[in-house]
């Protein structure tokens, strides 16, 4: 009998996944479509349920990971490869059903990543903004669901995935606007309540947060306070870009 020394080799699950370019579309009602660029070139007319709309699009690869944040402060982790290739002419797959969410649970935001870099920002109605490193959602095991994905101490208005620190614009229901650098908010734990960024008078609340781009408001300097928190300034410009909420 001849014996051989055999070196054990760990199987890399990612290497077993076919890697090719895909386009991801996520709708307001919680449907997802994964479409190849070739299929999209042949037909780009998106079929949607009545009243539904596409709220997020990604150009990525089949090996990318997807994080679906829900209105119950949870995040569900999946991979693009776990969804079927489809066409624009179909509704797509219903995310809550695929991932086994609760009956009354809804997707509010999707983060796509290949390396868990960057940050996630959370804006709350009370004027607080929280920031967490996206790596805080990475796990060594294939856990499908993470609890306490963000704070439940105040109603969440909007969340954003940013690759690096950048300028952020907040809007409030009283017409006030404030621009600040996300580096002014320190990254904390996932469930952090955040820090007060904009001070609000009675009955006013934050109702939107977007990545600021030059030209969104006139007289940009008046919306940039020297210190935080700040009350912001009234935006009486008709040229200020109005961004609709994701949910």
Q: What percent of the chain has pLDDT over 70?
A: 89
Statement: residue 6 has pLDDT above 50: no
pLDDT at 15 over 80: no
At 31-50, the pLDDT tens digits run: 999 999 999 999 889 999 99
Q: How confident is the model at residue 14, as a pLDDT?
A: 53
Return the pLDDT at 243: 41
Q: In whole angstroms, what separates CA 94 from the centre of its chain?
A: 18
Q: HSE (CB half, 13 Å, CA atoms) of 229? A: 14
pLDDT of residue 238 exceeding 90: no
* Lowest-confidence pick of 5-19, 76-90, 107-121, 203-217: 5-19
Which one, of 45, 23, 58, 60, lies nearest residue 90 by Cα? Answer: 45
Please name each of the domains of the chain with its CATH number.
1-114 (2.120.10.90), 116-247 (2.120.10.90)
Q: What is the pLDDT of residue 236?
A: 78
When the pLDDT of each residue in the chain is averaged and rounded to a whole number, the result is 91
More confident residue, 245 or 56: 56
Query: Which 3 state secondary structure label does DSSP give 156?
Result: strand
Confidence of residue 16 (pLDDT cuts 50, 70, 90): confident
pLDDT for residue 142: 77
Residue 215: pLDDT band (50, 70, 90) is: very high
- Whether the model clears a pTM of 0.85, i.e. scores above it, the answer is yes
Residue range 204-209: average pLDDT?
98
Has residue 141 got a pLDDT over 90? no
Per DSSP, helices labelled H in the chain are: 37-42, 95-99
What pLDDT shows up at residue 239?
Answer: 45
Residue 27 has pLDDT above 90, yes or no: yes
pLDDT digits (tens, 9 = 90+) for 77-128: 999 999 999 999 999 999 999 999 999 999 999 999 999 999 999 999 999 9
Instruction: Give the other-Cβ count within 10 Å of 179's Cβ.
Output: 19
- Asked if residue 7 has pLDDT above 60, the reply is no
Instruction: Assess whether pLDDT exceeds 60 at residue 211.
Output: yes
In the predicted model, what is the mean pLDDT of residues 126-153?
94
Rounded to whole angstroms, how far apart are CA atoms 170 and 47? 33
pLDDT at 4: 41
Asked if the model's pLDDT at residue 13 lies above 70, the reply is no
CA 169 to chain centre: 16
């Amino acid at each position: 009998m001849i014996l051989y020394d055999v070196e054990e080799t760990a199987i890399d699950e990612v290497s077993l996944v076919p890697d090719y370019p895909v386009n991801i579309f996520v709708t307001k009602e919680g449907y997802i479509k994964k479409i190849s660029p070739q299929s999209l070139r042949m037909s780009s007319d998106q079929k949607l349920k009545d009243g539904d709309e596409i709220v997020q699009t990604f150009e990525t690869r089949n090996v990318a990971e997807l994080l679906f944040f829900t209105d119950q402060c949870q995040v569900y982790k999946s991979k693009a490869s776990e969804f079927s290739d489809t066409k624009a002419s179909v509704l797509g797959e219903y995310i809550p059903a695929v991932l086994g969410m609760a009956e009354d649970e809804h997707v509010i935001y999707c983060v796509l990543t290949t390396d868990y870099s960057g940050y996630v920002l959370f804006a709350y109605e009370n004027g607080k903004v929280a920031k967490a490193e996206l790596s805080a959602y990475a796990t060594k095991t294939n856990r499908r669901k993470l609890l306490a994905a963000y704070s439940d101490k105040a109603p969440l208005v909007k969340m954003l995935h940013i690759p690096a620190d950048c300028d952020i614009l907040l809007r409030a229901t009283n017409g006030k606007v404030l621009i600040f650098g996300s580096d002014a908010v320190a990254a904390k734990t996932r469930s952090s309540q955040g820090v007060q960024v904009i001070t609000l008078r009675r009955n006013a609340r934050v109702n939107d947060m977007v990545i600021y781009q030059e030209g969104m408001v006139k007289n940009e300097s008046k919306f940039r306070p020297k210190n935080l928190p700040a009350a912001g300034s009234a935006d009486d410009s008709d040229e200020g870009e109005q961004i609709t909420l994701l949910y």
